Amino acid sequence: MTRLLARVLLTGFLAFGPLAGPALAQDDIPDACRTIIGCPDAGPEPEAPGDRGGYAQLLTLAVLATAVGFILVKVGLAVRDGDRRQTAAPD
């Protein structure tokens, strides 16, 4: 079953990948900034909420960070409660 799923996904990527086309080129970014790290403040300013660096991207980061923090707190409280129950249980 997993081999079939892997084959279907691979076939789909190979068949429909070229249809996606190249990413939008940004001609105003210098060649020195087109590395994996890039340059600070390279590229156009965000104009729409969904643009890179726009408020929607920052809001998404804040929501994800809050959710991860909430999960970590819940796990920590559950572990502490389990330890308390284990030490309070009579032998």
Please work out, in degrees rounded to the nearest 5, the angle formed at the alpha carbon of residue 36 by the alpha carbons of 23 and 12: 40
Q: Is the pLDDT of residue 44 over 60?
A: yes
pLDDT tens across 52-82, in order?
Answer: 777 888 899 999 999 999 999 999 999 999 8
Over residues 7-26, the mean pLDDT reads: 64
Tell me: pLDDT of 14 over 90.
Answer: no
The token duo for 66 is 């809050």
Quote the pLDDT of residue 77: 95
**Nearest by Cα to 60 from 50, 48, 72:** 50
According to the model, what pLDDT value does residue 20 have? Answer: 55
Residue 68 gets which letter from DSSP?
H
Answer whether residue 60 is part of any domain.
yes
Residue 77, domain member (yes or no): yes
pTM: 0.48
Provide the domain count of the chain: 1
- Phi, psi dihedral angles at 17 (to 5 degrees): -60, -50
Establish if 71 belongs to a structural domain.
yes
Structural domain containing residue 74: 47-91
Do the beta carbons of residue 57 and residue 47 sit within 8 Å? no
Within a domain: 68: yes
42, 29 in Cβ contact below 8 A?
Answer: yes
Please check the confidence at residue 23 and state whether its pLDDT lies above 60: no
For residue 20, what are its two tokens? 């996606």
What pLDDT, on the 0 to 100 scale, is given for residue 50?
74
